[in-house]
């Protein structure tokens, strides 16, 4: 049995890491700034939850005590959290080393170092922090989650439109598949490399229009599928297919299967 500390274990991928690790029989500690209260549906029986903050270090020693490996699924979207995202990674790794952790694995985004978006740049900065760590580290880059495009479609449908970015294709992946890749990286034998990078993609590369059609059909949502241009570097990033990893297909759950399963479990 391995003791796994999951940083950000209350988010999409993090919750799946926790669930799968418990099914495999491992001991799991979860660190989060806002851990779920005992008995809440967001938590899992058998996991130990700790209130901890990687921007200040508060609570990290307690969460990391006795851990063999750290799986870092932390997110930062805006403001101070985004600006301090890479520094928080450095603090987490430093505390992990002090606690005797042997390996740290982080979740990142495919080709994040080739995007001008602040969110992607923060991921690339954190990757460099991991590459400099004294710990054995693994970075797992994933294509976009199924929920990203579903969320775009849902938001647009509220005003009667289902937006489709002109020329964009996606290779979306389920959080469960990403969690499996993270656990493989966390629990696998030493690779002989101090710092390794892996990319995992979803099972299909589809146009955004195809995804929108499937979303409407499965959800029954209304709205006119509307193709819109996306100017600037982000639009170019998508048109050039830098959000794709067709040679690294890893996921098994298609967008349609994930969406149908999600609706069944609401």
Domain spans of the chain, in order of start: 3-142+174-200
Residue 78 half-sphere exposure, CB side, CA atoms within 13 Å? 0
Q: Is the dihedral of CA 59, 190, 21, 122 positive or negative?
A: positive
For the chain, the 3-state helix, strand and coil shares in percent, each to the nearest 5, are 40, 20, 35
Question: How far from chain centre, in Å, is Cα 204?
Answer: 18
Q: What is the pLDDT of residue 192?
A: 79
**What is the phi/psi pair of residue 163, to 5°?**
-75, 140
Q: What are the structure tokens assigned to 28, written together?
A: 């799991």
- Do 112 and 129 touch, CB atoms closer than 8 A? no
Is it the case that residue 85 has pLDDT exceeding 60?
yes
- Do 30 and 48 touch, CB atoms closer than 8 A? yes
Q: Is the dihedral of CA 221, 222, 225, 229 positive or negative?
A: negative
Is it the case that residue 263 has pLDDT exceeding 80?
no
Decide: helix, strand or coil at residue 85. helix
What does the pLDDT average to over 199-223? 97
Q: What are the structure tokens assigned to 141, written together?
A: 């880059």
Q: Is 3-142+174-200 in CATH node 3.10.450.240? A: no
What does the pLDDT average to over 79-101? 96
User: Could you tell me the pTM of the whole model?
Assistant: 0.96
Model confidence pLDDT, tens digit, residues 21-60: 999 999 999 999 999 988 788 899 999 999 999 999 999 9
- Do 251 and 203 touch, CB atoms closer than 8 A? yes
Is it the case that residue 114 has pLDDT exceeding 90?
yes
Q: What is the pLDDT of residue 77?
A: 87
DSSP 28: E
């Amino acid at each position: 049995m391995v003791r796994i500390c999951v940083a950000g274990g209350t988010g999409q991928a993090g919750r799946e890491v926790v669930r799968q690790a418990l099914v495999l029989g491992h001991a799991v500690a979860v660190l989060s700034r806002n851990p779920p209260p005992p008995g809440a549906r967001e938590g899992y029986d058998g996991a130990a939850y700790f209130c901890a903050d990687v921007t200040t270090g508060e609570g990290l020693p307690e969460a990391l005590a006795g851990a063999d490996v750290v799986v870092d699924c932390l997110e930062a979207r805006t403001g101070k959290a985004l600006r301090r995202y890479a520094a928080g990674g450095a603090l987490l790794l430093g505390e992990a080393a002090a606690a005797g952790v042997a390996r740290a694995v982080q979740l990142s985004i495919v080709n994040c170092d080739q995007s001008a978006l602040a969110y992607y740049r923060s991921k690339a900065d954190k990757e460099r922090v991991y590459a400099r760590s004294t710990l054995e580290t693994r970075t797992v880059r994933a294509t976009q989650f199924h929920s990203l495009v579903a969320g775009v479609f849902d938001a647009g449908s509220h005003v009667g439109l289902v937006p489709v970015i002109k020329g964009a294709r996606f290779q979306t992946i389920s959080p469960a598949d990403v969690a499996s890749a993270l656990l493989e990286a966390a629990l696998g034998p030493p690779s002989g490399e101090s710092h390794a990078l892996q990319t995992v993609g979803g099972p299909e590369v589809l146009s955004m229009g195809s995804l929108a059609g499937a979303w409407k059909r499965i959800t029954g949502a209304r709205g006119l599928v509307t193709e819109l241009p996306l100017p600037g570097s982000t639009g170019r990033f998508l048109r050039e297919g830098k959000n794709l990893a067709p040679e690294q297909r890893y996921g098994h759950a298609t967008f349609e299967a994930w969406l149908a399963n999600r609706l069944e479990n609401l």
